[in-house]
């Protein structure tokens, strides 16, 4: 799960991936404001929705803003869950047995106790990584299955339904 061996002194791949996702998320947030002028498929009365025509610039900006918002939510969730996984990988790197084996070479009882404690700690970190993966899948499924069919997420008129899930907040 952690993308580089624990003995490397170079930055781990997870650090670079986080920087890439952070840059993409920042660019998408900027694009929502500059490209779509902050507009999306929200905050419109039914009468106002009916008055906007597909050939108008506002209609196109709202559709583009809604699509950008969906992509931004996705990259944001990837960024946050990658940060969580990166912290677990850091904890795994802190529990490398070979460093402790050199420090306590002559004390077999202490080494055995340390090894048992480290193994228990590593199992907890692996459980945390599993929970992070499962919760990320749940968030992505919630995001993409909350409005079916997906194109209703950026539909202007008719209203995508009486549900709040089909428009960005």
3-state SS record for 45-90:
CHHHHHHCCCCCHHHHHHHHHHHHHHHHHHHHHHHHHHHHHHHHHH
Confidence band, pLDDT 50/70/90 cuts, at residue 97: low
Q: In this model, does residue 49 exceed pLDDT 80?
A: yes
DSSP summary character for residue 14: H
DSSP summary character for residue 3: S
Expressed in angstroms, the distance from the first to the final Cα of the chain is: 33
At 127-149, the pLDDT tens digits run 999 999 999 999 999 999 888 88
Residue 139, by phi and psi: left (phi above 0), alpha (psi -120 to 50) or beta? alpha
In this prediction, residue 105 carries a pLDDT of 56
Contact 131, 149 (CB under 8 A): no
In this prediction, residue 163 carries a pLDDT of 54
Mean pLDDT confidence for 42-54: 89
In this prediction, residue 65 carries a pLDDT of 92
Confidence band, pLDDT 50/70/90 cuts, at residue 122: confident
Residue 11 CA to residue 15 CA, distance in Å, equals 6
Q: In this model, does residue 5 exceed pLDDT 70?
A: no
Preceding omega of 149 cis (within 30 degrees of 0): yes
Q: In this model, does residue 24 exceed pLDDT 70?
A: yes
- Short-list 2, 27, 22, 7, CA closest to 102: 7
Give the HSE-up count for residue 159: Cα atoms under 13 Å, Cβ half-sphere: 13
Q: What percent of the chain has pLDDT over 70?
A: 76
Most confident of the following: 10-14, 67-71, 158-162, 164-168: 67-71
Name, in order, each residue with C-beta under 8 angstroms of 118's C-beta and a sequence gap of 6 or more. 95, 97, 100
Residue 44 CA to residue 40 CA, distance in Å, equals 10
Contact 6, 14 (CB under 8 A): no
């Amino acid at each position: 799960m952690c993308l580089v061996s624990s003995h490397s002194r170079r930055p781990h791949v997870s650090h670079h991936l986080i920087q890439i996702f952070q840059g993409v998320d920042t660019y998408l947030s900027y694009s929502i404001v500059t490209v779509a002028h902050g507009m999306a498929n929200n905050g419109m009365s039914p009468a106002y929705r009916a008055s906007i025509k597909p050939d108008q610039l506002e209609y196109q900006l709202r559709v583009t803003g809604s699509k950008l918002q969906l992509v931004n939510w996705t990259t944001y969730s990837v960024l946050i869950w990658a940060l969580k996984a990166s912290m677990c990988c850091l904890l795994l790197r802190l529990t490398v047995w070979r460093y402790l084996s050199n420090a306590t070479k002559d004390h077999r009882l202490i080494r055995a106790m340390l090894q048992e404690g480290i193994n228990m700690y590593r199992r907890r970190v692996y459980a945390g990584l599993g929970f992070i993966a499962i919760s990320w899948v749940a968030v992505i499924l919630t995001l993409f299955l909350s409005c079916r069919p997906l194109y209703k997420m950026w539909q202007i008129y008719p209203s995508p339904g009486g549900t709040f899930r089909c428009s960005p907040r």
